[in-house]
Structure 1
Amino acid sequence: MSRLFRDVEGGPLCPQGSVVCIGAFDGLHLGHRVLVRHAVARARELRLPSVALSFEPLPREFFGTGAPPARLTPPRARIEGLRALGIDVVGLLRFNAALASMPPDAFVRNVIAQRLRAREVWVGPGFRFGHDRTGDLETLQRLGAECGFTAGAVDPVSLDGERVSSTRVRHALSSGDFETTARLLGRPYSVQGRVVHGNRLGHTLGYPTANLRFHSKRPPVSGIFAAMVHGIDDKAWPSVVSVGTRPTVGGTEPLLEAHLFDFDGDLYGRRIDVEIKAKLRDEETFRDLPTMVAQMHRDAMQARALLDDLPRQACA
């Protein structure tokens, strides 16, 4: 069974040794998958546990320099995705002031060597770590020679002549290009989460919704979308989805609201997976509620028609 740990300090987690891969893993795109699968394969060859080492919050979010990048994958989905790729131990280290100021050699000795007893460490292209990002692959290799592990980097993964990266995924999403997004991720883009209570305005207006929060993370999409919602029963439910702050009703927090066509039931507390298929329009501010409801009717009709036209397998 896969294990999760959050702390830098503590006793050995893999006394017999491990194979470690390190990265942000936001989105778990094709490049991440190559890195993780390589580490898992090496761990199986050596009959050792595989470890994926990452951080929460992401370093750029912690430092808060400029607008933080939109988050592609919330923590739980990141953990579940790594486990699905065969990882035995997930380290989602708490990125705080102490970890941010830790020199590369201390990080290697305390976490990689002592806690994980690494035999091999694998990273992606351009990997940097430690205080002021002063550590790199060469640092890992030098310290590994002292601590008893080897370190290497996997080759970058390219698609259409350009390296696959989380930045490129975010750009495709912000452009509404879900076909390219799916190719970069190796799967359709979706938002996962537990349904929470809203203000029930949608129910009052005739459009009850299942609501997902982003918990202070900036979503990579905004607007109105056609989507398929998974996790309710054996079928995927065609839906119209809004992602935004709901400015017409004075909202400020980003929220995903999914109206499931022809669904009658209580979804509060359920974990669902909202697979976004196409963007219909940007979020707007309406002069009054009747105008907004009229647009909601048009959005629902457009989403139904679009989803009905998609190949059956694309909505399964």
Structure 2
Amino acid sequence: MTFLFRDASPSPGHGRAFCPQGSVVCIGAFDGLHLGHRALVGRAVERARALGVPAVALGFEPLPREFFAREARPPRLMLARAKVEGLRALGCEGVGLLRFNAALAAMPAEDFIRQVLVEQLAAHEVWVGPEFRFGKGRAGDLALLQAQGAALAASGRGFTAHEIAPVHVEGERVSSTRIRAALAAGEFVHAARLLGRPYAIGGRVVHGQQLGRTLGYPTANLRYGGKIPALRGIYATWVHGVGDAPWPSVSSFGTRPTVDGVEPLLEAHLFDFAGDLYGRRIEVEFVAKLRDEEKFPDLHSLVAQMHQDDAQARAILHQHEPQRAIA
């Protein structure tokens, strides 16, 4: 049961309950599925199993912060498909991404509770993270959820609402904001501690300009869905999903200024690989940052730097074991 990019308020006569037997719902942005998100989802799944109803994770697309900051959108840790796959792997039978648009931003919190949590999901329990806010003007909070749930009890449509405690790692509160900062600084070990796994980006390999092939460095290319990535530069990486073991590689993530690129593109050059990866789903695990993206005066200078990047990435990966299997 996955309902993507659905309006929170269905058209008259077209609404339907996704969970007529009831559900346990957890709500959040879930960007990155870090240890805090995993604690929230884990609690909801545990309670759903106890009650014998589906666990449903409810998120938003685009993220509310992306909607409200269109001119300076925040970086994304994870694209929608990876988020859905990750939430289902954590035990959610249902995953919903509500289309966050002007209508949803203007929806009063009470209407969101009635239309989504009660009418569409028949929630028995609702679980949220620390300091969760929702609804027009961010007026909805845990107290409102609890009050509305109790008020509906007499009609048999009530629910209870709960908040999980913040998750800390080595005294630091886990958050997507902190993970974005760690990735931007090339602090991959730190980011992995907060995520609970190494940072990686997955997707289906697409055709590029094939310039790398003519320069002696063919790449497997992944698009980033028009979103703003949390990191840019040249990296030592492992590619999962190609062979029986992760494949060593050097990857560029950015807009390719030397060749006047625009859209962020993740380009992974797999060392000593021969084969066609177009259409294959792969995952790129980031190990170490080699340098920032740079505009070179000509292709000859670019290739000379690529030789150096190749040698440096090989040396780093020779001393680093891959940590992540493709999801």
Q: TM exceeds 0.5?
A: yes
Aligned to 1:272: 282
Instruction: Map 1:84-99; keep pairs closer than 5 Å.
Output: 84-99=89-104
Q: Distance in 1 between matches of 2:220 and 2:2?
A: 31
2:243 aligned with 1:233: yes
Instruction: Map 1:204-243; keep pairs closer than 5 Å.
Output: 204-243=214-253
Query: How many pairs are equivalent?
Result: 314
From 40, 43, 46, the equivalent of 1:38 is 43
Aligned to 1:152: 162
Query: Aligned-pair RMSD on alpha carbons?
Result: 1.2
2:271 aligned with 1:261: yes
From 198, 211, 221, the equivalent of 1:188 is 198
Deviation per residue, 1:282-314 (Å, 9 max, x gap): 111111110110000010011011101224x64
Deviation per residue, 1:56-108 (Å, 9 max, x gap): 01111112255211100100000000001000100111111111111000000
Once the two structures are TM-superposed, the CA of residue 273 in structure 1 deviates from its matched residue by: 0.3
Name whichever of 75-84 and 247-256 sits farther off. Answer: 247-256
Contact in 1 for aligned 2:197/2:324 (Cα 8 Å): no
SS in 2 for 1:284: coil
| Equivalent residue letter for 1:279 | K
Once the two structures are TM-superposed, the CA of residue 5 in structure 1 deviates from its matched residue by: 4.6
| Percent of aligned positions that are identical | 64
2:302 aligned with 1:292: yes
SS in 1 for 2:225: coil
Deviation per residue, 1:104-130 (Å, 9 max, x gap): 000000000010000000000010000
Moved over 4 A (4+): 313-316
SS in 1 for 2:72: coil
Deviation per residue, 1:189-242 (Å, 9 max, x gap): 001111111011000000000011112100111110000000122111100000
Contact in 1 for aligned 2:257/2:294 (Cα 8 Å): yes
Q: Distance in 2 between matches of 1:283 and 1:245?
A: 8
| Equivalent residue letter for 1:235 | A
| Equivalent residue letter for 1:47 | G
From 53, 75, 80, the equivalent of 1:75 is 80
Q: Distance in 2 between matches of 1:305 and 1:50?
A: 45
Once the two structures are TM-superposed, the CA of residue 159 in structure 1 deviates from its matched residue by: 1.4
Distance 1:152 1:52, change over 3 A: same
Return 5+ residue gaps in structure 2 as ranges. Answer: 153-157
From 18, 21, 33, the equivalent of 1:16 is 21
2:8 aligned with 1:3: no
SS in 2 for 1:291: helix
SS in 2 for 1:252: coil
Q: Distance in 1 between matches of 2:75 and 2:324?
A: 26
| Equivalent residue letter for 2:235 | F
TM-score (norm 1): 0.97
Once the two structures are TM-superposed, the CA of residue 253 in structure 1 deviates from its matched residue by: 1.3
Return 5+ residue gaps in structure 1 as ranges. Answer: none
2:42 aligned with 1:50: no
Aligned to 2:262: 252
SS in 2 for 1:81: helix
TM-score (norm 2): 0.94
| Equivalent residue letter for 1:182 | A
Distance 1:315 1:49, change over 3 A: closer
2:316 aligned with 1:306: yes
Once the two structures are TM-superposed, the CA of residue 24 in structure 1 deviates from its matched residue by: 0.2
Distance 1:5 1:211, change over 3 A: closer
| Equivalent residue letter for 1:297 | H
